[in-house]
Amino acid sequence: MPHHGEGDDRLGMFENQAPATLNQVAILDTWYPILAALAFCRVYEFIIRITTTGETLEIEVTIDGNVKLVTVAAGANTSYVISLSQSANPATERLSATAVGADVYRKAFHFEGHSIAIRARKTTNVGGGSIQAVVEHGVLARAG
């Protein structure tokens, strides 16, 4: 049996990473990556908004190859928390968007997976607003 640190490949705790951010003048129907695919990732917080003008945003989160999509009629400069929630059918998880400022149920983390990738785009062209997003996340570190 290996000793601690000698060939030990046990997984340890999640280590916080620098936030993944996006601040991009958005072009209609162009996807912008916010978080590149990360292995053993846990997302603690995900907030997104559009500046200058109200637009319709699509946010795509891929967890272990399963794509989840939410569409938000985003008000100008209104921030939205993106999280995974249960629908009426307990077996069905979906992405949800809740305006910050409203009562938002905060969990220890929003979602996690062996692989997570996040991207967003605007699907209306009201004006030249920027998509701004921040994703607080951690990755699972090796023990030892």
112 neighbors 38 (Cβ within 8 angstroms): no
Read off the CATH number of the domain in which 67 is found: 2.60.120
The model's pTM is 0.84
Residue 61 domain-assigned (yes or no):
yes
The tens digit of pLDDT for each residue in 14-30 reads 899 999 999 999 999 99
pLDDT confidence of residue 38: 84
Residue 76 domain-assigned (yes or no):
yes
Instruction: Name the residue range of residue 62's domain.
Output: 11-142
Q: Name the average pLDDT for the chain.
A: 84
pLDDT confidence of residue 104: 55
33 neighbors 60 (Cβ within 8 angstroms): no
Tokens representing residue 18 in the block: 């620098």
Residue 63 domain-assigned (yes or no):
yes
Residue 2 domain-assigned (yes or no):
no
pLDDT confidence of residue 114: 92
Residue 3 domain-assigned (yes or no):
no
* Positions of the chain with pLDDT lower than 70, given as ranges: 1-11, 86-91, 101-108, 143-144
Neighbouring-strand partners of residue 97: 82
Residue 4 domain-assigned (yes or no):
no
Tokens representing residue 142 in the block: 């090796």
Residue 48 domain-assigned (yes or no):
yes
Q: What total number of domains does the chain contain? A: 1
